[in-house]
Structure 1
Amino acid sequence: MTELTTSYLANKIDGKLTGPDIVIQGIFTFLNHAKPGDAVIRHWIDEKGVEIARNRGVSCVVTQNPKGDAVKTAQELDFPLIITPKIELANAFALRWSIEKFAPGSIRVVVTGTNGKSTTTHMIQNILNHAGYNCYTNTDSKSEFNTLIDPVVSDQISRFKAKTKKPIDAMVVEVSEVQGWMDKLMKDHAYLMTDAVKPDVLVLTNITMDHIGLINSIEETYAEIYGALAAVEKSCQNNYAVLNYDDPLLRKMAGEIVTCPSIISHGSVEPDFNPDLTVKSDGIHHEDELFLKMEDLPFKSKHFLQNTMAAIGACLALNIDTSAIKAGILSYSPLNRRFSILYQEPLIIDDFAHNPDGITATIKSASEMSEGTLIILFAVRGSRGEVINRLNAEALASALQAVDYSLIITSSSEVVDELNTVHASEIEVVRKVMDEHKLEHTFKEELEDALNYTLNTAKKEDTILLIGAQGMDPAKDILNRIKGPE
């Protein structure tokens, strides 16, 4: 690798260097993680932060927004401060550098799309672990580590190598399809992050509306997700794209591929095409041969089956032994809040359904499992605006039309932080949609109150579905306090 100096780094990220040109001895990380020699990346920093960095002995600080006397203090301390016009350029460089340093010969998969990223990423990692790879992934249950907002992935890669004390020979990286900072779109995020990883396989799950405010049309969403494919097309070195052909926009995207990457498709059989992987009544088929029996699969919801086919496709593209693929799927345990079954009597299902497609699919799957009434406890998305909440409410109303249901709505006011506080207008728009569709519902402001009400009205044969984003995250812990663990 080229020797990493502050001047070299500044040049690579279109930055301006204040202070000396020195060799960067450590890793890219956060200020509170930094050790002597490390390079710190922060979206903003003030003079106090510069002083802390210098006292910690870090090599330099990279920032987009120097505040207060940050520049003056750096000059007075003769400390390297790099100002970049876009923090994502710095974090993309850090990611690329970290992979080259700590995982240079690794096989790599990128997973992006609107829904199903975390489950698909996690399942691929489980398969690769079964195949004997020391596999890093950035996926967690809240999908908080899939962005170029900060140096989290580059920091994690170096620490994963140190923790496992073995070469990183595989990476599965979840990439946010759309990202922003302070309500401003971080344009080309999926392209930049995918290009930094340079994957052997790109998995695209689906394209639908989310992140309203950052983007406001399906066309914009398509363009941002296409960026990941454009990054793979650019390298064009025996790589693959795994595409969900049940999504018409991904079929359209497949039609725009000229020479590479090669496509592995999954979805329903239709007159004009037969995907490489498809679901039939007896299980998942690969090229018309039964690959996994339906009765053996740990979960059978539509979204889980789509995620499973995507994971199979990715691992087949990597030439992973089929016995390891099957073992990785059959032993798979889902991430928290991914159609998780919390209790059996009554059956309580918890799912991070936070946009229209996720809500529709989750209600359909839960209703098929219910032997009585489907009782839905729905958390309004806080501080996300009226548009996405209206779209979610419309999806909820549409999905309930053919279901024997009971609906409770909550704003989870006592458990959310200021970034997820539900505003009056957001509650109002959700309840207004229910009234427009003549759907009866009960509103409870606090989540614990809503959970108690839900439990008290449920019969043993009923199914309780907990859906929503951050507002429903604490539900499992509250239920454990109310009912005790299962």
Structure 2
Amino acid sequence: MIALSLAEIAEVVGGQTHDIPDPSAQVTGPVVRDSREVEPGSLFVAFAGERVDGHDFAAAVVEAGAAAVLASRPVGVPAIVVADVQTALGALARHVVRKLGTTLVALTGSAGKTSTKDLIAQVLRRKAPTVFTPGSLNNEIGLPLTALSATEETRFLVLEMGARGIGHIRYLTDLTPPKIGLVLNVGTAHIGEFGGREQIAQAKGELVEALPPAEEGGAAILNADDPLVRAMASRTKAKVILFGESGEADVRAENVTLTDAGQPVFRLHTPSGASDVTMRLYGEHHVSNALAAAAVAHELGMSADEIATALSEAGSLSRWRMEVTERPDGVTVVNDAYNANPESMRAALRALAAMGKAAQAQGGRTWAVLGKMAELGDESLAEHDAVGRLAVRLNVGKLVAVGGREASWLQLGAYNEGSWGEESVHVSDAQAAIDLLRSQLRPGDVVLVKASRSVGLESVAQALLDSGNEGEVAAR
């Protein structure tokens, strides 16, 4: 964070200083909520959670070097006490962002936000110092913490914005007003909470409504291939830039193919020129993510060649998102277990099918180890059934549905589509899936692991990688 005195911070957040001998002392380190991340000069934000109360760590963080604690009550050490810690954190982020004057890029969408944010960051940081959301810290706490990590050297601030209801993104854009806003898609993630895709579109479109007008540099970057996103052009006064595979898109892809390993290859077209891209990421769905990143980079002055080079060299920065690892025995594990919704599940299955073509030529098989997709409301049965059916249509060799009711719907969908033998199986939990896979995997197999975060299927992927390292699976 930029250096601010404790007195200035107290004024910004409307707080009272307690046990601070020198209000002119400065916060020179990061703003953190995890006591393990405290550095000399930090500001520790004490949230009172259901299981852990940050106030209990106040003395320890000051002893570790924190300049002060942002708290909702006096804690016996230097503190700025406020009525509401979350509101104060947001006010501090708003103050710092406005003081810095950095170019702020915000993005949202039902699927692909984190992967696209990582691509944007990797492209832009070739041009200038860039700070971006780590992982998926895209809510009312994670977003201001990311914004506060910017410094005087930061030129681009890339923030992912999530929403679970109308007004959420409006709140986030008020904290950190963007100059460039990107909307990827409107899908069915969290549809059970929103009530329908039209409501999701209403919420996501709050991002473009918050942009400054075109004459002040505002730019709305919209997916030309998604009608609900494209319609958001009428909700903004910013310049509109379309991306996608549509011929009407300003930034588009042509001649899209996949390598034998399932990595996208395409010709990138921007208003400033065209250049070829060969991605390191897996799955055709990353083409749309790459085009979105290219549109942002073009708007910020990068050439087609610069963008193509950066996209071709970009990798995955966030854990458990299409992490591809080949074990010493030849089994490939695709860990996409961070989260799942119908759109991302379909994309992952298509990526698995593409990766499996080369494996099948060598006698390997494709495995889809899938769990429930949460927060789908009344659409849950139909969506799980559809994913099970798609696995069969894509000729995935083995479907392992893990968990309770939703997993049984996955397996039933596969059965009804024609998976009548041993091609699909329903197991009770992650350990049962691990036991099954350990007994049946053979060199050359490709295993996709994916479910909503609450299922915790990353444990399956990790167990498979540990098995390969320990040499538990013998060649057959």
TM-score, length of structure 1 as denominator length: 0.75
CA contact (8 A) 2:107 2:161 kept: yes
CA contact (8 A) 1:375 1:454 kept: no
Q: How far did 1:460 drift?
A: 5.0
CA contact (8 A) 1:195 1:232 kept: no
Change (3 A) 1:30 1:24: farther
Does 2:385 match 1:394? yes
User: Matched residues in 1 for 2:118 and 2:53: separation?
Assistant: 39
CA contact (8 A) 2:143 2:160 kept: no
Does 2:430 match 1:447? yes
Give 2:249's aligned amino acid: P
Q: How far did 1:147 drift?
A: 1.3
Q: How far did 1:309 drift?
A: 0.6
Corresponding residue number in structure 2 for 1:340: 323
Corresponding residue number in structure 1 for 2:158: 172
Q: 1:108 aligns with which of 80, 104, 107?
A: 104
CA contact (8 A) 1:40 1:58 kept: no
- RMSD over equivalenced CA pairs, Å: 4.0
Q: How far did 1:432 drift?
A: 5.2
CA contact (8 A) 2:113 2:160 kept: yes
User: Matched residues in 2 for 1:6 and 1:280: separation?
Assistant: 54
Does 2:8 match 1:4? yes
User: Matched residues in 1 for 2:255 and 2:50: separation?
Assistant: 57
Deviations 1:354-392 (A, max 9, x none): 00011112212322332335321112357x586575354
Does 2:268 match 1:276? no
Corresponding residue number in structure 2 for 1:479: 464
User: Matched residues in 1 for 2:149 and 2:253: separation?
Assistant: 39
Corresponding residue number in structure 2 for 1:240: 219
Q: SS state of the match for residue 131, structure 2?
A: strand
Give 1:168's aligned amino acid: T
User: Matched residues in 1 for 2:147 and 2:343: separation?
Assistant: 32
Give 1:4's aligned amino acid: E
Corresponding residue number in structure 1 for 2:367: 375
Unaligned runs of 5+ in 1: 11-15, 64-69, 180-184, 412-423
Does 2:422 match 1:404? no
Q: SS state of the match for residue 465, structure 1?
A: strand
User: Matched residues in 1 for 2:117 and 2:470: separation?
Assistant: 28
User: Matched residues in 2 for 1:93 and 1:481: separation?
Assistant: 45
Change (3 A) 1:298 1:79: closer
Q: SS state of the match for residue 210, structure 1?
A: coil
User: Matched residues in 1 for 2:426 and 2:181: separation?
Assistant: 42
CA contact (8 A) 1:121 1:139 kept: no
Change (3 A) 1:410 1:129: same
Instruction: Please show how residues 39-438 of structure 1 align to structure 2 within 5 Å.
Output: 40=45, 42=47, 53=58, 56=62, 61=70, 81-84=81-84, 89-101=87-99, 104-131=100-127, 133-140=128-135, 143=136, 145-148=137-140, 150=141, 152-156=142-146, 158=148, 161=151, 167-176=153-162, 178-179=163-164, 187-233=166-212, 237-257=216-236, 260-269=237-246, 274-281=248-255, 283-287=266-270, 291-293=274-276, 296-299=278-281, 301-335=283-317, 336-343=319-326, 345-352=330-337, 354-371=340-357, 372=360, 373-381=365-373, 387=378, 389-390=380-381, 392-405=383-396, 406-411=398-403, 424-431=404-411, 433-434=413-414
Q: SS state of the match for residue 45, structure 2?
A: strand
Q: How far did 1:214 drift?
A: 3.3
Q: SS state of the match for residue 404, structure 1?
A: coil
CA contact (8 A) 1:128 1:135 kept: yes
Q: Identity across aligned pairs (percent)?
A: 15
Alignment: residue pair count: 432
Q: SS state of the match for residue 370, structure 1?
A: helix
Deviations 1:434-478 (A, max 9, x none): 566564521233435424523544555654322223322233421
CA contact (8 A) 1:4 1:24 kept: no
CA contact (8 A) 2:68 2:78 kept: no
Give 1:167's aligned amino acid: E
User: Matched residues in 2 for 1:31 and 1:59: separation?
Assistant: 14
Change (3 A) 1:447 1:359: same
